[in-house]
Amino acid sequence: MTDSRRGAARTEAIMRTTLELGQEIGYAKLSMEAIAARAGAGKHTIYRRWPSKGALFLDSLLSLYKSSLDYPDTGDIVADLRTQIHAAVDLLGNPPFGPLYQALVGEAQHDPQLADALNERFIKPQADRTVARLKAAQDQGQLSPAFDLGLAMAILSGPLYFQFLITQEPLTHEYVDRVLQVLFTGMGKPS
């Protein structure tokens, strides 16, 4: 192996170990020492690449995610949102991603740098894709021209995160469908 392939293999082994250990013992008990020991890597090797446990955990988690949440574009915005948000709840509602992501968001409440990294690397790219897809739909007359695209993520994701983080009830496709129904037609009386 070349040096750079060896480096990539080592990086991958460290991230895989982080996820394995995270699932076994939970985020709170995870330590850089334990990860280094199990991955057979030096602690300084890990710290050179990741300044904190949070940074290593975020990278490891995002390595699971790939771009599986890309927006489809079949020309039907309601169908495409359903497809995309069903995929999101499949990810959030199941191991390994779900419980590890929940732990990460929990940690981000105590660690502003981790919260920034989460937004920069995970939330903002999703928001950009969401707004682009909704903008196209709005231009085609499939959404209200008055709909405030700057709120798209909060409106569409908020009810999922509320269930995921607060009530901690299961996320299901049926729940997504009920939420989309309300969001599209609105709570107000028909005009």
Question: Site residues (CB under 8 A) for a second copy?
Answer: 26-28, 102-103, 105-110, 112, 115, 118-119, 123, 141-148, 150-151, 153-155, 157-163, 165-168, 178-179, 181-191
Q: What is d(CA 130, CA 34) in angstroms, rounded to the nearest whole number?
A: 38
Termini Cα distance of the chain: 68
Distance in angstroms (rounded) separating the CA atoms of residues 78 and 56: 36
CA 119 to chain centre: 10
Beta carbon of residue 39, minimum distance to a second copy (angstroms, whole number): 23
d(CA 103, CA 122): 15
How far is 92 from 161, CA to CA, in rounded Å? Answer: 9
Q: Minimum distance from CB of 143 to a second copy (Å)?
A: 6
Nearest CB to a second copy, comparing residues 39 and 152: 152
Residue 83: phi and psi, rounded to 5, are -55, -45
3-class secondary structure, 14: helix
Is the CB of 41 or the CB of 64 nearer to a second copy? 64
In sequence order, what are the residues at sequence separation of 6 or more whose Cβ sits closer than 8 angstroms to the Cβ of residue 123? 153
Nearer to a second copy, 40 or 150 (CB): 150
Q: How far is the CB of 3 from a second copy (least distance, A)?
A: 39
> Which is nearer to a second copy, 11 or 163 (by Cβ)?
163
Least distance in angstroms from the C-beta of 111 to a second copy: 9
Residue recorded with tokens 């021209």: 145
Rounded (10°) CA dihedral 39, 7, 26, 65: -140
Closer to a second copy by CB, 80 or 107: give it: 107
**Residue nearer to a second copy on the CB measure, 15 or 143:** 143
Least Cβ distance, residue 14 to a second copy (angstroms): 23
- Shortest distance, CB of residue 159 to a second copy, whole angstroms? 4
